[in-house]
């Protein structure tokens, strides 16, 4: 099994249930306010470790109770955390999440200590990149840090997976270094500049990114599955229809599971099917890391 390094964010998620998401200027009542360990990076690390992966994480938390709780949850999930930065000057990142009756979410992220996962911190930990085989990133840490990790991992010939969430533009130069880019439909729209309301439009937008040098593109499509495109093929891979309770971190679960599947030597199609199954289980539960399935649940 190959070593998976996740470089990314750690947040405390504050989650409430709402009947529907409010319009601009509207006040509504919520219920069941709870807190969960979250952050896209930490979510993906927990997803990978819960499925049996050998996982280490780089990122930053504050020197506070929230940071301690996030680190302890990662440890208990089997993630190596010894090189995660603890910042004494900035609070741990926080995400405010509302979940409606259909299980769809709306999220506001306050980055906090995640912004201190800067290039100087990454530079101090390039040995961790050296010892990894697969590097998985998202975009809740500074974009210059993401770019730097991609460049360093590329120099070292690591397998690079980038989940471009929350959606931000990526330079063509960096896109060419990425082995697997995993946007959802809205992220694909931003990166390609194309509307993605139909399957045909998704394929057309994906072709735009392929023309920019993306080697392997995986567009996650919720319960419809995923589109996989590279120089040899374009195909839709079916997902799993389930009753969604909370879609928070479904994409993170997909990415963590996909990294584990690759670490075990699965081919890309089988890795996507494995990740689709894991994500379909995660949406039937409330919370981010608390919703991640164990390996035996995917048998």
Catalytic annotation, residues: 252
In angstroms, rounded to a whole number, what is the distance separating the alpha carbons of residues 4 and 96? 28
* 240: Cα within 13 Å, side-chain hemisphere: 19
What residues form DSSP beta bridges with 80?
Answer: 56
- On the question of a cis peptide bond just before residue 166, with omega within 30 degrees of 0, the verdict is yes
User: What are the distances in angstroms from CA 202 to CA 59, 169, 219, 234, 299?
Assistant: 32, 18, 8, 11, 31
**Whole-angstrom distance, CA of residue 207 vs CA of residue 224:** 19
> What sign for the dihedral angle of Cα 79, 299, 222, 236?
positive
* CB-facing half-sphere around the CA of 140: CA atoms within 13 A: 32
CA distance 151 to 298: 34
User: Both ends of the chain: CA-CA distance in Å?
Assistant: 19
Tokens 């919520």 belong to: 30
Residues 6 or more apart whose Cβ sits within 8 Å of residue 200: none
d(CA 126, CA 152) in angstroms, rounded, equals: 8
DSSP element (H, E) containing 76: helix 65-76
């Amino acid at each position: 099994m190959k070593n998976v390094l996740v470089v990314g964010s750690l947040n405390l998620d504050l989650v409430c249930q709402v009947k529907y998401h409010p319009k601009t200027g509207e006040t509504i009542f919520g219920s069941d306010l709870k807190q969960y360990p979250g952050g896209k990076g930490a979510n993906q690390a927990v997803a990978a470790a819960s499925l049996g992966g050998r996982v280490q994480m780089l990122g930053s938390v504050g020197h506070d109770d929230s940071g301690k709780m996030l680190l302890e949850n990662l440890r208990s999930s089997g993630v190596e955390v010894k090189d995660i930065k603890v910042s004494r000057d900035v609070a741990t990142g926080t995400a405010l999440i509302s979940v409606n009756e259909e299980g769809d979410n709306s999220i506001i992220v306050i980055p906090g200590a995640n912004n201190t996962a800067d290039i100087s911190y990454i530079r101090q930990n390039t040995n961790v990149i050296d010892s990894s085989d697969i590097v998985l990133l998202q975009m809740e840490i500074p974009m210059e840090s993401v770019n730097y990790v991609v460049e360093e991992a590329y120099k070292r010939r690591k397998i690079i997976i980038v989940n471009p969430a929350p959606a931000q533009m990526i330079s063509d130069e960096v896109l060419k270094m990425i082995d697997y880019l995993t946007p959802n439909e809205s992220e694909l729209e931003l990166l390609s500049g194309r509307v993605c309301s139909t399957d045909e439009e998704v394929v057309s937008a994906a072709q735009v990114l392929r023309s920019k040098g993306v080697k392997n593109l995986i567009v996650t499509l919720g319960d419809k599955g995923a589109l996989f495109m590279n120089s040899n093929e374009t195909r839709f891979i079916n997902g799993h229809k389930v009753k969604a309770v909370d879609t928070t971190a479904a994409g993170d679960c997909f990415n963590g599971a996909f990294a584990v599947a690759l670490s075990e030597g699965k081919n890309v199609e089988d890795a996507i099917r494995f990740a689709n199954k894991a994500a379909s289980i995660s949406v039937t539960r409330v919370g981010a890391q608390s919703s991640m399935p164990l390996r035996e649940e995917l048998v």
